[in-house]
Amino acid sequence: MKWGKDELDAEKITGLDANVDTQFWYQVSPWLAENQGFFDRVRSKLEGNEFGVLTVSSLWDGIGSALSPTLISKFKEWNMSAVTLALCPSRLQPSAAHFNTLSSVINCLATESAVLILVDRDQLNKYVGVDRAGSVIFGNTVLNSIVQMMLAKESFVKEFSETSRSFGVKVFAILAAMGASLKVYGSLENILSSTTIRPLQAFDVPGASILYALVRLPNLLRDEFSREKIELIIADWFKNRAALKSVYVAEPLYAEDLTDRIDLLLFVGGFSLTGTLALMKKKAEALKTQAIKQGSMKEEEWKELSRAWSERG
């Protein structure tokens, strides 16, 4: 709490308070399995929750990589809808980060109710946009803006997880345009085109099969861009880019300002994970061998993860 820039409500904080090493996921996972009290405390913070849970976590550290799949299982057990915004490591980060992330993604995907939105750290750091006031945003500021927009849509988690279940798609990437001026871009189609230049996770666009769109408009554009019109524009824009099975546009959010700025988040899923996870798999190989040799994990355990990766990739 002392390190946070914003005031944090102590009543809403739950700490692991664990005296364990936290470099790798396999050091934290056994502690989580044996400490139901921690999850009892988490559940108590969620009493009265009607909208589901959005979790945000880096997967490259031991705590985030171990906790993400475990929380997904717990939310399922508690009959709560959940979506995980998962941050993946930079190419420059060491092999431990990629080993943790690869293991976490596969463990998450092994859970029936998993819904993952992957964000690549390098792509996030390269993204430059503007907020509704026209101020430049980049890096974590962009991530904060995206999360705030997702939270502003109270039905987001339930709608998004329902879309995921309906089509059996668990992994999504984000195409984003934040604070795009309609006057500058000229049309919604041009704003859509700008999103492909800087995806927050590189993925095979032609391989995508479903899309969930979240849009925030100023009130002055409410009549010009109805939900139905936005859906048709997005579907038409995508028709030569990917053979989508579904385009779902949430009821737009409306901003009480006098700008012409549009915030647009396209959550695209159904693409192959082979390319997305290939670098992680390559960088994790040496560390996997070391972990097995020192007895930190069993070889069969890694083989099971590898088989799962192959089946889902």
Q: Hey, what CATH topology would domain 23-114+273-313 get?
A: Rossmann fold (3.40.50)
Is residue 6 pLDDT above 70, yes or no? no
For the chain, the average pLDDT equals 90
Give per-residue pLDDT as tens, 152-168.
999 999 999 999 999 99
CATH architecture of 154-271: 2-Layer Sandwich (3.30)
pLDDT at 3 over 70: no
**Percentage of the chain surpassing pLDDT 90?**
71
Mean pLDDT of 91-104: 93
Q: CB–CB of 119/86 below 8 Å?
A: yes
Does the reported pTM lie above 0.85? yes
**Would the CATH topology of 23-114+273-313 be identical to that of 154-271?**
no
Contacts of 95 (CB under 8 A, 6+ apart): 283, 284, 286, 287
The half-sphere exposure of 240 on its side-chain side, counting CA atoms within 13 A, is: 2
Closest CA to 52 of 12, 15, 8, 84: 84
pLDDT for 8 equals 65
Choose among 290, 283, 307: nearest CA to 95: 283
Contacts of 101 (CB under 8 A, 6+ apart): 59, 60, 65, 88, 89, 280
Task: Name residue 262's beta-bridge partners.
Answer: 180
The ranges assigned to domains in the chain are 23-114+273-313, 154-271
pLDDT in tens, 99-153: 999 989 988 988 888 999 999 999 999 999 899 888 999 989 999 999 999 999 9
The predicted pLDDT at position 190 comes to 97
Q: Which pLDDT belongs to residue 313?
A: 45
Residue 225: predicted pLDDT: 95
% of the chain with per-residue pLDDT over 70: 95
pLDDT digits (tens, 9 = 90+) for 265-310: 999 999 988 888 888 888 888 888 888 888 777 788 777 766 665 5
